[in-house]
Amino acid sequence: MAGNRSYFNFLPRYVRWYVRLQQYKWYIYIVSIAIFLFAIVSIVVLIEGYNDYKAIQRQWLAIQNNEDNQRVLKEYESLQQLIHKTLQRKSSYDTQYIAITLLDGAMTNPGNVTIQNITFTDDGFSMVGIANSDESYQSYMQYVQSHLIRWICNGKQDIQQDSGYTVFHMDGHPKEHEHSHAENDRS
């Protein structure tokens, strides 16, 4: 065979290709058949996928045009509106409860705490008030914090030296869900 290789280099190029073709023709046939079968299988899979897509699209359109589905969608939209109204009402109940608690705390210390301004925002409330003494301010803060358990209330005070009054500012925002803290503590 080694002797044949030395003559192989002197053959013209087309003869060398012909010799190689004859040596490897069964491999070439097998690879060609494999590529052909792969192409046919790929085309069949693509056609079946497209037919499945069309069938699913027809089913979806049939469901969308179904009267029962239309009725269910309308009921779902009405339930969503009801939930939205209920959540708005709950928000207004929360603001009413907070306002009543802040005012009630001021009334438990008659003449000692005066509320100047209460502002409600989407994430909490802000309040400015005047207390006659530091003890009145502390008492008021304890009252508010004991009644607004689900809220974090942060207060800052500024004592007016010449008048003896304490001007205070309090911000409040809801606490995060307590179960998430408990889950974090366990991990």
* pLDDT value, residue 154: 82
Residue 135 has pLDDT above 90, yes or no: no
Point out the least confidently predicted range of 30-44, 82-96, 127-141, 164-178. 82-96
Q: How far apart are CA 65 and CA 97, in angstroms?
A: 47
Helix (H, G, I), strand (E, B) or coil at 93: helix
DSSP label at residue 176: P
Kindly list the distances between the CA atom of residue 78 and the CA atoms of 84, 149, 150, in Å, as whole numbers in the listed order.
10, 34, 31
Q: Note the pLDDT tens digit of each residue in 20-64.
A: 888 888 888 999 999 999 999 999 999 999 999 999 999 999 988
Mean of per-residue pLDDT scores for the chain:
81
- The predicted model gives 9-28 an average pLDDT of 81
pLDDT, greater one: 16 or 88: 16
So what's the pLDDT on residue 91?
64
**C-alpha to C-alpha distance for 16 and 138, rounded to whole angstroms:** 104
pLDDT higher for 47 or 112?
A: 47
Q: How is residue 46 written in tokens?
A: 């693509």
Nearest to 136 by CA among 165, 171, 100: 165
The pLDDT of residue 185 is 47
Query: What is the mean predicted confidence (pLDDT) over 151-178?
Result: 77
